[in-house]
Copies of this chain bind each other. A is one copy, B any other.
Amino acid sequence: MPRQMHLGLFILGTGSHIAGWRYPGAVKSFQDFSAVADIARTAERGKFDLIFMGDNLNADPAAHPSYTLRLEPLTMLAAVATATKHIGLGATVSTTYSDPFSVARVFASLDHISGGRAAWNAVTTANPAAAANFGTVHPDHARRYEMAGEFIDVVTGLWDCWEDDAVVADVESGVYIDPAKVHSLDHEGAFFKVKGPVNIGRAPQGRPIILQAGGSEPGQQLAARTADVVFSVVQEIGEARKGYASLKDRLAGFGRAPEDVTVLPGVMPVVGRTDEEAFETLAVLQGFIDSSNGLALLSDRLGIDMSGYDLDGPIPDIPLPDTYHSFASVMLSKARRENMKLRDLYNLTAAARGHWVLCGSPTTIADTLEEWFTTGAADGFNVMPPFFHKGFEDFVDLVVPELQRRGLFRTEYGGKTLRDNLGLARPA
């Protein structure tokens, strides 16, 4: 079978565009589960590999509405599991402000509940405001990645404590468990000390899928060692190809093959029946941005308070904070490359939170995605609709069929689990 794209849907309830909720008829809340269930069913109708939910650990009433008020990812996706049949369920959980025993449990539980559709987006928390909600001090970037590496090793170790056939449940003899097939973990590392075993059996996928999004050097190394799927933040194809090749090249160093990791750049598609119609929709959305919410989101994404700078001046020469390295680099390098004013940069950030915006007719969008897919920039895409439902339904109803006609995307789910649909092997 020819190589086909994988598609993820990034669910941010009111859409990736900061003012998407103001679009006529758009979903206005990320706390309304019936809207989320509808979105998930639309994604399943579009044969998406997975839906994927970000997270944050603080509320800033000036930020993106869906950053400020949101359902918690694991409870939300467990509820979605019951409302869907095939689609993968990816939830972000921080390695900075969680504990590995609990994380191993919840994802194994989601995997059992969903029949093998769970995925963990293992992130480090960038926003230092989270620390105040956990009574602690925010670790610096390097330390967060050291913690993340050990955290992931502990979680996967806990997932491996129970062999596939450890549960006997033999009514006749009364033997429920074969203790020879249950192992403790006995992990003692720099950050975590965890005995195990975990109190949930081997997951249907063996291990739930691990997603990652870190673009910094330690983030790339961690992804090359541990991730099954990588969401990348890119703005143009040259940069995307470079990042794609760099990640795939690293894999051999960890005894892995290029096909062991699926790379999905984030893209906000704005779909119209014609290119003009799409640009009109984008213009309507951009007209909803005001400088206060635009600057608040930019400040959040850069980790620097930008409210004091001249909107019509050049991008100020600001030092990148240690905590926000990867995302801020991509944005600032694009802004400088294109001689943007600060106003342009906040408009860009408000549109898609800094992700790539792709605007056009179904043909234009399919052409571009095909080019990225066939020339070493992507294994598929992480789709970030600007608003729901229309902003996503147009992608499913207009772009997906075009990709299917070209043989670039599945017309039916092939496997039973997310791991099957991603074409990844079950770990022994």
The answer to the question of A99 belonging to the interface, with a C-beta cut-off of 8 Å to chain B, is yes
The answer to the question of A143 belonging to the interface, with a C-beta cut-off of 8 Å to chain B, is no
Chain B residues near A102 (CB, 8 Å)? 97-98
Give the residues from 56 to 81 in chain A that come closer than 8 angstroms, CB to CB, to chain B.
56-59, 61-62, 65, 67-72, 74-76, 78-81
Cα of A169 to Cα of B35 in the assembled complex, Å: 16
Q: Is the CB of A29 within 8 A of B169?
A: yes
What residue in chain B is nearest A106 (Cβ atoms)?
B72
Q: Is the CB of B76 within 8 A of A75?
A: no
State the Cβ distance, A105 to closest chain B Cβ, in Å. Answer: 5
The answer to the question of A17 belonging to the interface, with a C-beta cut-off of 8 Å to chain B, is no
Q: Is the CB of A75 within 8 A of B78?
A: yes
Cα of A394 to Cα of B189 in the assembled complex, Å: 51
Count copies of this chain in the complex.
2
Q: Is the CB of B21 within 8 A of A59?
A: no
The answer to the question of A194 belonging to the interface, with a C-beta cut-off of 8 Å to chain B, is yes
Cross-chain contact of A71 among B112, B162, B174 (Cβ < 8 A) = B112
The answer to the question of A4 belonging to the interface, with a C-beta cut-off of 8 Å to chain B, is no
Chain B residues near A80 (CB, 8 Å)? 82
Give the residues from 257 to 295 in chain A that come closer than 8 angstroms, CB to CB, to chain B.
288, 290, 293
Chain B residues near A59 (CB, 8 Å)? 161, 182, 196-199
Q: What is the interface size of chain A, counting residues whose CB is below 8 A from a CB of the partner?
A: 70
The answer to the question of A33 belonging to the interface, with a C-beta cut-off of 8 Å to chain B, is yes
Cα of A65 to Cα of B102 in the assembled complex, Å: 20
Chain B residues near A216 (CB, 8 Å)? none
Chain B residues near A245 (CB, 8 Å)? none
Cross-chain contact of A192 among B29, B135, B174 (Cβ < 8 A) = B135
Q: Is the CB of B199 within 8 A of A68?
A: yes
The answer to the question of A101 belonging to the interface, with a C-beta cut-off of 8 Å to chain B, is yes
Q: Is the CB of A195 within 8 A of B133?
A: yes
Cross-chain contact of A101 among B83, B133, B182, B192 (Cβ < 8 A) = B133
Interface centre among A97, A133, A134 (most CB of B within 10 A): A133
Q: Is the CB of A171 within 8 A of B67?
A: no
Q: Is the CB of A201 within 8 A of B69?
A: yes
State the Cβ distance, A409 to closest chain B Cβ, in Å. Answer: 28
Cα of A137 to Cα of B33 in the assembled complex, Å: 39
Chain B residues near A171 (CB, 8 Å)? 21-22, 28
State the Cβ distance, A313 to closest chain B Cβ, in Å. Answer: 25
5 sample A-B contacts, Cβ–Cβ < 8 Å, listed by A number: A21-B169, A29-B169, A67-B199, A69-B162, A132-B195
**A interface residues (Cβ-Cβ under 8 A, vs B):** 19, 21-22, 28-29, 31-33, 37, 56-59, 61-62, 65, 67-72, 74-76, 78-83, 97-99, 101-102, 105-106, 108-110, 112-113, 132-135, 161-162, 167, 169, 171, 174, 176-177, 179, 182, 192-201, 288, 290, 293
